[in-house]
Structure formats: structure tokens, C-alpha cells
Structure 1
Amino acid sequence: MTERDELVPRRRRDRRGRGMRGPAVQPLAATGHRPPLPRSRREVFDKIMLDVVTDIDARWSEHLGLVEYAVEDAPQLPDDWDSGRVPLSSLVRGSGTTPTRLVVFRRPLEHRAADRADLEAIVLALVVEQVAELLGIEPHDVDPRYPSDLDDD
């Protein structure tokens, strides 16, 4: 530091001498408020998936047995994949000590959804359809929130 630096006060963005202000710079104890942390797309999707799976698994766990639920970004398709459709999920039935595994692919679902409510509806419909297939019952019997107009597809 030079002598000049000691004599000349530093200029700050604080033009009126009140200091930095707002909930983002105030300590939590002083304001009692913490600004919300930004959520990534992955975190939002994981929360939606967890909410759907927790609700369905709580109702059907004794009929389903051991099921592993997972989220992956996108399916790994073989080079010779010639279908015009991208899979939205994968269901592999368990055998013996291997649990059944239901994998939902995040990116294709996000691509189809217009907003968060639409994404929630798509995830719910997809998980309900897969669980209904495992149980051998109709999707609307698995969860009453399942849209009945999708049964015709």
C-alpha cells in the first residue's frame, strides 16, 4: 500500500454510506431470511420423481416387492437403433435376488414438457403405467391422479 492509498478513501458502490443491503448480503441471524438457492433442472426433476415414487411405493410396496427406482439423463441407444422414438423409461423385471429396476430418462421427458406442471404429469403417468404393468392392473387403479384419457393409447 502506498501513502496515497492511505490518504484517498476507496470508492465503493455504496454511494450513500449505508453499506451493502438486501437479503442476499445480510447475515441470516440479522434478517431471519435466507435467499432461496437456485435449483438445477436435475434437482427439480429428482424432486418430482421422488414425490411420485414415494407416494406410489407407499401404497403398493407390499404388492410390488423390491423395486429400485432410478433417474438417468438419457438412454444409451445402440448404433443400429432405427426407431424414430426415444425411450422414456426402462423396466427390467427382477429375478431371484435381483430387484426389479425402473429407470426414467430425464432429458427426453423434459424435452416433451412445456412447464413444471406438465413435467409432473408426464412423470406421474409414466411411473403409474410402469407400476401398473408390473402389477398387471389398469393404470387408473394404481393412482387416481392418472389421466383417464391416456388409457386409450
Structure 2
Amino acid sequence: MDVEPLRPGAPGPRRASRRRDRHGRGRRFDLIPPHLPGYRTRREVFDDLVAESGATLAERFPRRLAHLRVLVEEVPPTDPAPWEDAAVLLGRALPATREHPPRAILYRRPIQTRCASEEDLEALVRQVLSEQVGSLLGIAPEDVDPGAWED
């Protein structure tokens, strides 16, 4: 299973970029050191959370999700499909075609705006991902990831 963003510049460890010496003041450093929580952006945290959740599901269904690609987009498209509601989408499942393997797409901004804490974000990501994978596999989301639906 692959997890990758649809935007350019994949998340990952920050590379030490060459920073120029401006006005003879010496090398410029990051404002927040790597050991503090604010070092990572909300996008990086979300991408890692989706990758962890997708990897957990791939371990649970190794044969059926071997070719699944979990993608992250910022916002859903403005033109929903005819069978979709006019409500804001949190995710979308696209079945396999000749050109593409099956894909589960999660929309970062709508999901993050509905969450007040990290725990809420993790729970909502797991629920949305289990709904999308369940629709691809033809099984109930509660059977895909039972832990995501416990209250």
C-alpha cells in the first residue's frame, strides 16, 4: 500500500537546507528546534497520521489492500459527482481502473476543521479511512476498523 500526497513536495524529514549568510550575521537557523512540538506543520502531522492508519489497515487486510493507494488532498473538488451529496466531503473512494489502482482520498482541511484535539483528529481520520476502504472492499466500516467506531 502506498501513501502519498497529491500535492507537490512529499512530506518527510526536513532536509537541512542551505541558508545563506545574510548581512554577515552568520548561518540562519529554524525558529523552532526539532525537539519541540511546533517544529512539524499541521500538514506533516496529518500526513503521518493517515500513513499510520493506512498501514494498520494494510496489515489487517494484506491481500485485499496490497495495491491500495491512500492519497491526501487539501480540499474536495467543487464539482461533486452526481451521486454524492452537496455536503462537504471528508473522503472519497475510487475503484481500480486500467490506468490506476484503487484509491482512497482523504481531504485534509475539512477533516482538520471538524476536530478540536489530536485525539479527535486521529479518530476521525480512522473513521473516514475505514469508510472509504469499506466501500472499496464491500464491507461495513465497523468491520474494517472496529476500534475507530468505539465510543
Q: What TM-score does the superposition give when structure 2 sets the normalisation length?
A: 0.67
Gaps of 5+ in 2: 1-33
Bigger radius of gyration: 1
Cα deviation, 1:125-148, whole Å, max 9, x if unaligned, reads 011111111111222221220215
**Identity over the aligned pairs, expressed in percent?**
34
Structure 2 Cα separation of the partners of residues 107 and 43 of structure 1: 13
Give the structure, 1 or 2, with the largest relative contact order (CA under 8 Å, sep 6 or more). 2
Cα root mean square deviation, aligned: 2.5
Q: 1:78 to 1:136 in 2, by over 3 A?
A: closer
Q: Give the Å deviation of 1:65.
A: 4.2
1:105-144 alignment runs, 5 A limit: 105-144=107-146
Structure 2 Cα separation of the partners of residues 145 and 107 of structure 1: 24
Q: What TM-score does the superposition give when structure 1 sets the normalisation length?
A: 0.66
Structure 2 Cα separation of the partners of residues 91 and 35 of structure 1: 36
Structure 2 Cα separation of the partners of residues 138 and 35 of structure 1: 40
1:1-153 alignment runs, 5 A limit: 35-36=35-36, 38-78=39-79, 84-147=86-149
More helix by share: 1
Gaps of 5+ in 1: 1-33
Q: CA contact under 8 A between 1:140 and 1:148: conserved in structure 2?
A: no
